[in-house]
Amino acid sequence: AHPGGSPAARAALPATDRRAAPPPGAGLMPINGKTAVVGLMGWPVSHSFSPAMHNAAAAALGLNLVYVPLPTPPDLVAEAVRGLRALGFLGANVTIPHKQAVLPLLDEIDAGARATGAVNTIVVRDGQLRGANTDITGFSQDLQALGVPVAGRRALILGAGGSARAVAYALGMAGATVTVLARRPAQAHRLAADLAPFLPPAHTPRVDSWDALAAHAAADLIVNTTPLGMNPHDDASPWPRALPLPPHAFVYDLVYNPPCTPLLHLAARAGISHANGLGMLLRQGAAAFTLWTGRAPDLNVMAAALPLAQ
């Protein structure tokens, strides 16, 4: 098995070549009175790979910018968001559990954030707080880089949380027929209802029972958005081991740590093309970086900075 995907699948993912990133401490811009600041708002944020990824990208471009963790208790979200503008931040990423809570605090939100009801990137520009959801961009761009066709294909999404909303919107906008399976049907139905006003009827997600996996053997694309396969569920697979995966499908697991989850092991053993979510992580981060700076970061540099590459 090839961690993170079949050879053909992951060929499009930037190689995590340590030579692409500066050695620790080398090439880093000094922090001074002109240093621009961005950060990550969440609770907690100590586990995040984002600071390493973004600081490496900024250093490689010679930008006087620093990306810092911003641990934000839920009862202080409003103060923290207002503080971004007051303190002259370029912006911030937003992670669990604040992606929904920040929406009413912003001056503008883009179409994707409005449709999914979630913001993962705030940009401060001309005194305005603007929200975006670059998870949508990251997922779409990674599928494109992997050469996975979407238009007219049958997509099956496992899970109905915040990530599933971004995936369902991205797939629906790209012309896929989307079905969502979740252990909590009410959550899946709410996802479909919330996305319906923003998608053509033919591409609005349908909902089926979690127990109906076997009825979706014709799926062309299977996307796991659940935490199954990630610590502390790293032995679990959302797809039953006894149920064969559709042989013609592409299997995409948003989990990237561990690089080869039980679901991806199943796909590898069956000779089915597959990929983990590392490319989505990198590409959503790169999209946010570009929104803040107007510069396109080097994905190889960002990948090499991740602890997974060390």
For the annotated catalytic residues, the residue numbers are: 99
Give buried/exposed letters for 197-212 (b at 16+ CB in 10 A, else e): eebeeebbbebbebee
Give buried/exposed letters for 222-247 (b at 16+ CB in 10 A, else e): bbbbbbbbbeeeeeebbbeeeeebbe
Q: How far is CA 52 from the centre of its chain?
A: 16
Distance CA 182, CA 211 (A): 9
Give buried/exposed letters for 125-155 (b at 16+ CB in 10 A, else e): eeeebbbbbbbbbbbbbbbebbebebeebbb
Beta strands across the sheet bearing 154-158: 206-209, 177-182, 154-158, 221-224, 250-253, 274-276
Chain position carrying tokens 């409003």: 78
Check if the beta carbon of residue 292 is closer than 8 Å to that of residue 27: no
Nearest CA to 54 out of 297, 308, 253, 300 is that of 297
Torsion angle (degrees, nearest 10) of CA 189, 193, 199, 201: 80
Does the CA dihedral 158-257-270-279 come out positive or negative?
A: positive
DSSP state string for 179-232: EEEESSHHHHHHHHHHHGGGS-GGGSPEEEEGGGGGGGTT-SEEEE-SSTTSTT
